[in-house]
Structure 1
Amino acid sequence: MKKIILLSFLAIICSSTGCKKFLDKVPSTFVSPVNYFNTEKEVNTALNGVYDILGKEQVYGGQLPIRHAPSTDESFFSYASFPTGPFYYNFGADDATIRVLWQYMYDGIERANVLLANLDKATMDDGKRSVVKGEALFLRAFYYFILVQNWGGVPLKLNPTTSINEVNIPRNTIKEVYDQILKDMTEAEGRVLKISQIGFGGRVSKSAVRGILARVCLTMAGYPLKDISKFKDAAEWAGKVNEFGEHSLNPDYSQVFINLCKDQYDIKESIFEAEEFGTNNDAVREGGRIGNENGVRCAATDAAVIASVGYAYGFISTTRKLYTSYEFNASDVSKRDLRRDWAISTYTLNASGVKANIGATNIYARNCAKWRREYELLSPKNKNYTPTNFQILRYADVLLMQAEAENEINNGPNVTAVNALNEVRRRGYGKLMPGATNLGNADYPGAISLGKAAFLKVIQDERARELCFEGLRKYDLIRWGIFVNTMQEVATEFTTYASMTTTIYKNARDAAQRVTATHLLYPIPILEMSLNKAMVQNDGY
């Protein structure tokens, strides 16, 4: 970890903690652990600091889904002003975006370690203390999950820093990191509350822990560990998410994202969210970039128009592969996947903030449109920051993980797998709306008769249609072992269908062509390498 981070936590427990919606407080100033952790209030303030990392602009408040994972077979980075970065697979160990993500993950881990080390000092109810411990353990493990996915084996640091000499920390193996993640999350699952007791998705619940454990186990079952025993665990954790009957799909796909933009919780579908707050014009400054950087492009320059409609850069756009993967029969309404025209824009906003339709054949001009600024309730809108939470886990993802895991452990789809798949598809075709008829028309034809490989391909395609632009695709492609080959196919797609005289299309083609096995992991940041003499760099960097 960077020395500046180590030094900072010798004197403070949480800096810039922010004001989360689930804690009715403004963060305190810097405090010493020696004189802190005496009361439940102080414990909650420290816990707030651990959560705060999730919503940072450099994490789920923007960069993790928008700049770290946009260039896949479902989307491309469609902004020409940035010449290098992880979104173009054009980076080195000095890349600032990569360095800052590493920094914030270890910031969050250190905050969790400080809290866990001092938690028993506080005078508070033991039941509440146990819940806090569970949340802190989960968050620490979740930050390690982000690290191991992006860098492989990393230093496991499970105690707070007590000396500026604690700098030379060697890397643990990938398996050791995952084993700790499982240990912490499994303990957390027994301590945290049900989501119905909490009432919103901005706090760690049993459903959140179980769903993320399913994600962790699926990842462990794939590349690079290939521990196929974890498919069984993934199926069990996914199946347990709805043990208490708290979850179901929102009947309207678009409403999932409208609720997020309106700052309204929907715990039936949206299980775990990174919290944002306000328009970044206040002292708290907890706004994020969701809907701004990854929204429908707005060309407005007038401040009054921007304050009214909300500015968006349109950094993320669809690939042809994703757009054409949706069934959309122009003459038969029953054969239209309604997710397409919500997830992918049909319009842009002109200089007056008025919608201008995109031509039917102009696929690559279509931005990500899931988070639409027109639904934000706060006014006037900030040009660059929004109060929109980012959903880290939602129930549709859980269903598709369950279907995938069941397919693997049963050597082909069973009834549980097929039902989970078709529940997601039915919502996509509007079949969960009141008055809907012929629900089975949306089901994947003959799914129960498919072989294991064929059903996996169905799941892979369905995850793209359902979860596109949500920061999951790159990691899915890696764990499936098809990332490099898929990106070469994307390069071919752009060469075939896009004009190479258009800068953003050429950049997208070049980014996809650039991908090799080296890009399965990030480089250890050069500053970390210079400070931590026990650190070993990843291959290729």
Structure 2
Amino acid sequence: MKKNTINILFAVALVGLFTGSCKKYLNTDSPSVLTQESIFSSVSNMNSAVIGIYAMLIGDNGYGSRIATLFPQSADDMKTSGDYNANDRRGISTYGATSDNADLKEPFNQLFKGIERANICIKYIPKSDLYANGTDVQKATLQKLLGEALTLRAQFFYEAIRNWGDMPAQFEPSADVPNLYLPRVSTDTLYDVLLEDLRLAAEYVPWRTQSPDQNLRLTKGAVKGLRARIALARGGYSLRGDTHKNERRADYKKYYQIAYDECKDIMAHPEQHSLNPVYENIFKTLHTAARLDDAHELIFEIGAYGSNASTDSKLGYYNGLRHDAKSRFGGGGGGINIIPTYFYEFDSIGDCRRDVTINVFEIDSNSKKWMNPAGTMTDGKFRRSWTTISGPSQNLAINWPILRFADILLMYAEADNEINNGPSADAITAYERVRRRAFVGFESRMGTTPTDKDGFFNAIVQERLLEFGGEGIRKYDLIRWNLLGSRIEETKTKLRDFMNGVGRYASLPLYVYTKPANYNLVSSTEEVKTLDFNGGMPISQALFTPGIGKSDPPSGYTTKNWRTAVNEDYITGNLKGYARYFEAEKKELMPIPNTSTGTNYNMAQNWGY
């Protein structure tokens, strides 16, 4: 078991409190079930109650699979593999999901189970006698638990809002709500509640170095960082339920100021969180008990353990580097594919993030690596071969990253630029800290940072594309900037240029020729250097020059489609087309599952469905 997954170990203790009828859970007196009185009269039991909230983050229907890997597709970086089906994962990726989609129902329900568990703790922890009359240590512990519950509720609500928009404003336990058929209220109203909750939570939850369970539970940096993220969402564009338009409010700068202040405070505490000097080590840390993140860049991650669908993750099995089932690592990966043009957004020589974020190779049945065609490159930050788990298991105990310090720096820079009508020196420094880490050893290739407002904003847009690929962030960034539709169209244009070999893609090969090479499990930038291309070409030549342009490979090599991997069917086909069913000011949000609209007559379906 990994050290940093204790956050859900004791959830099973609360099965009597958190299951069954929401109206009846407080009336259960069975000696085998914990009652309200026993839960909220003991610090230990209240701790277990809060851990029960954490438990709703993980598993197949949480950030262990569907919410993390299916919901964020497709932006201008990645998409789900496979052919379109309105009722499964591919329907989500192509913006063609229906309200019957099987991959929407249970994640939606799990988010609201998390909210219900949090509501119970938020109500009853402050009512505990120990909260008011316990020892100083007990009172501090219970305040910390209350702050965690408030923060977790905010995370669950934020996830629901950014995917489905307006939601019922249920901030009390279901047992206390006279009418559970609540209508949807505006995202503005909900976000304002969450921002106030998080302001309060930040007073209760200690900094990492003051926490008895750092790397295991939420700390002040996570609370403040989440508040900054939600503030930018509140100040950004969203699809409005009343006007059916992507709009932001006139007072949006008020929320940019909140994000600025929160990020600035985190940055003022470098002993708590800073940049990991090695980009790749952030993600290797998610795979193992041996943490490679002494800088604590990972501010909020979701733990996975237990080899099951409820408490573990399928990260690295569903998504990530593709491994043949006969390899020594076991099978997995390949559920998410890179959009080929994304590979060329990175500097071809200096940016180390490309080879961490994108797998250009896969692992074959002999445990060797060899090139993928351009259309089947995979997301690189999750890799079965980075774990110690082999064999047929689908659960690899890989954690999901919610928030990193790099995001704090870039949110700060973005907010500063918007508030001041151009970037301050501090904003430029924050932006360049992220970029300099990516270009370590190649700083001369970083380019010049723009100093005007629009130029700096565009630089932030591009940097976030490069920094957070595969971390479930990009689509939601584009939505809050009101850029999703235009970026999808721009990407389609780039894909046609890629297909036709024009513009910036004029020198790319139609085909590449490769054969298996030893998989050395070294750093990603070193790993790609030993891929075997014909003539011993390095990747910087093989994927950036025309080559021989023939489908027949040189002797001893196999042909892999490169530009020929993209055709019109890849771009606009009904089954394979990239973002095929996207409609601006309709499909920024997903359909409410029909099980929810069917059981709550006030839960109106989203516009466009």
TM-score category, normalised to shorter length: 0.7 to 0.9
2:16 counterpart letter in structure 1: F
Distance apart, 1:340 and its partner CA: 0.6
Alignment match of 1:51 (pick from 54, 58, 68): 54
* 2: CA distance, partners of 1:480 / 1:114: 35
Confirm or deny that 1:256 pairs with 2:282: yes
Whether the aligned pair in 2 keeps the contact of 1:207 and 1:242 (CA below 8 Å) is: no
> Counterparts of 1:54-453 in structure 2 under 5 Å?
54-80=57-83, 84=88, 85-119=91-125, 120-121=127-128, 123=130, 125-162=138-175, 166-198=179-211, 200-224=214-238, 225-226=248-249, 227-245=252-270, 246-265=272-291, 266=293, 268-280=296-308, 286-300=311-325, 302=326, 305=327, 308-329=328-349, 336-358=350-372, 362-377=373-388, 379-431=389-441, 439=443, 441=444, 443-445=446-448, 447=449, 449-453=450-454
Give the aligned residue type for 1:74.
Answer: D
Residue in structure 1 matched with residue 532 of structure 2 by the alignment? none
Amino-acid identity (%): 28
Match of 1:476 in 2: 477
Distance 2:289 2:148 in 1: 23
CA displacement at 1:139 relative to structure 2? 0.8
Q: Answer whether contact 1:487 1:513 (CA < 8 A) is retained.
A: no
In 2, the alpha carbon distance for the partners of 1:73 and 1:159 equals 39
Does structure 2 retain, via aligned residues, the 8 Å contact 1:36–1:42? yes
Partner of 1:42: 45
* Pair 540,96 (structure 1): closer, same or farther in 2 beyond 3 Å: same
User: Residues 293-316 of structure 1: CA distance to partner in whole angstroms, max 9, x if unpaired?
Assistant: 12111232x4xx4xx414223111
Structure 1 residues 91 and 450 mapped into 2: Cα distance closer, same or farther (>3 Å)? Answer: same
Q: Which amino acid is the alignment partner of residue 291 of structure 1?
A: G
Rounded to whole Å, the distance in 1 between the matches of 2:129 and 2:304 is: 28
Cα shift at 1:478:
0.4
CA distance in 2, matches of 1:525, 1:181: 24
Point out the more displaced range, 419-428 or 27-36: 27-36
Q: Secondary structure at the match of 1:273?
A: strand
Q: Report the secondary structure of 1:384's partner residue.
A: coil
- Unpaired segments of 5 or more residues in structure 2? 18-27, 29-34, 239-247, 500-564
Instruction: Give, in whole Å, the separation in 1 of the partners of 2:385 and 2:569.
Output: 29
Q: Deviations over 1:159-197 (max 9, x none)?
A: 111279733111112211011111111110110011123
1:456 is matched with which residue? Answer: 457
Distance between the aligned counterparts of 2:84 and 2:189, measured in 1? 40
Q: Rg larger in 1 or in 2?
A: 2
State the 1:365 CA deviation: 2.6
Tell me the SS of whatever aligns to 2:145: helix
Match of 1:435 in 2: none
Give the match's secondary structure for 2:286: helix
| 1:527 to 2:595 alignment | yes
Matched, 1:21 2:31: no
Contact (CA 8 Å) 1:499, 1:505: kept in 2 or not?
Answer: no
Amino acid at match of 1:298: H
Compare relative contact order (CA 8 Å, sep 6+) and give the higher one, 1 or 2.
1
Deviations 1:228-275 (A, max 9, x none): 321121111111113322222111111111111113443621000111
State the shift of 1:519 in Å. 0.7
What does residue 487 of structure 2 align with? 486
**TM-aligned CA deviation for residue 39 of structure 1:** 1.0
Number of residue pairs matched by the alignment: 496
Q: Note the C-alpha offset of 1:126.
A: 1.1
The answer to whether the 8 A contact 2:83-2:576 is kept is no
Change (3 A) 1:25 1:150: closer
Structure-2 separation of matches of 1:258 and 1:420: 24
Distance 1:164 1:183 in 2: 22
* 8 A Cα contact 2:174 2:180, kept in partner: no
Residues 478 and 189 of structure 1: CA distance in aligned 2, closer, same or farther (over 3 Å): same
Cα contact 2:267–2:409 (8 A) shared by 1: no
Superposed CA offset, 1:111-160 (max 9, x none)? 01111222233646111111101100111112111122112211111111
Distance 1:289 1:328, change over 3 A: same
AA matched with 2:566: S
Distance apart, 1:349 and its partner CA: 1.1
Deviation at 1:503, TM superposition (A): 6.9
Q: How far is 1:382 from its partner?
A: 4.7
Residue 312 of structure 1 aligns to which amino acid in structure 2?
Answer: G
Aligned partner letter, 1:96: A
Aligned to 1:30, the other structure's residue is in SS state helix
Query: Which sections of structure 1, spanning at least 5 residues, go unmatched?
Result: 1-18, 330-335, 432-437
State the 1:45 CA deviation.
Answer: 1.2
Q: Distance in 2 between matches of 1:229 and 1:260?
A: 35
Name the stretch that deviates more: 408-417 or 461-470. 408-417
SS at match of 1:76: strand
Residue 326 of structure 1, CA deviation: 0.8
Structure 1 residues 510 and 395 mapped into 2: Cα distance closer, same or farther (>3 Å)? closer
Q: Is the 8 A contact 1:296 1:312 kept in 2?
A: yes
- Amino acid corresponding to residue 395 of structure 1 in structure 2: F
Q: Distance in 2 between matches of 1:59 and 1:311?
A: 22
Change (3 A) 1:23 1:365: closer
Kept after mapping to 1: 8 A contact 2:8/2:52: no
Whole-angstrom CA distance in 2 between matches of 1:26 and 1:188: 22
* Alignment TM-score, normalising by the size of structure 1: 0.86
Q: Is the 8 A contact 1:78 1:505 kept in 2?
A: no
| Structure 2 length-normalised TM | 0.77
SS of alignment partner, residue 168 of structure 2:
coil
User: Once the 2 structures are TM-superposed, how far is the Cα of residue 442 of structure 1 from its aligned partner?
Assistant: 5.1
CA RMSD between the two structures: 2.4
Task: Name the SS for the 1:348 alignment partner.
Answer: strand
**C-alpha distance in structure 2 between counterparts of 1:512 and 1:493, whole Å:** 15
Bigger Cα displacement from structure 2, 237-246 vs 268-277: 237-246
Give CA deviations for 1:387-421 in whole Å, capped at 9, x if unaligned. 11111000111111111111111111211111111
Taking the aligned partners of 1:508 and 1:466, their CA distance within structure 2 comes to 27
Looking at structure 2, the residues matched to 122 and 264 of structure 1 have their Cα atoms a distance apart, in angstroms, of 40
Q: Which residue of 2 aligns with 1:499?
A: 566
State the distance in 1 between where 2:10 and 2:445 align.
Answer: 47
8 Å contact kept, 2:495–2:571? no
Measure the CA separation in 2 of the matches of 1:404 and 1:416.
11
Q: Cα gap change, 1:285/1:67 in structure 2, threshold over 3 Å: closer, same or farther?
A: closer
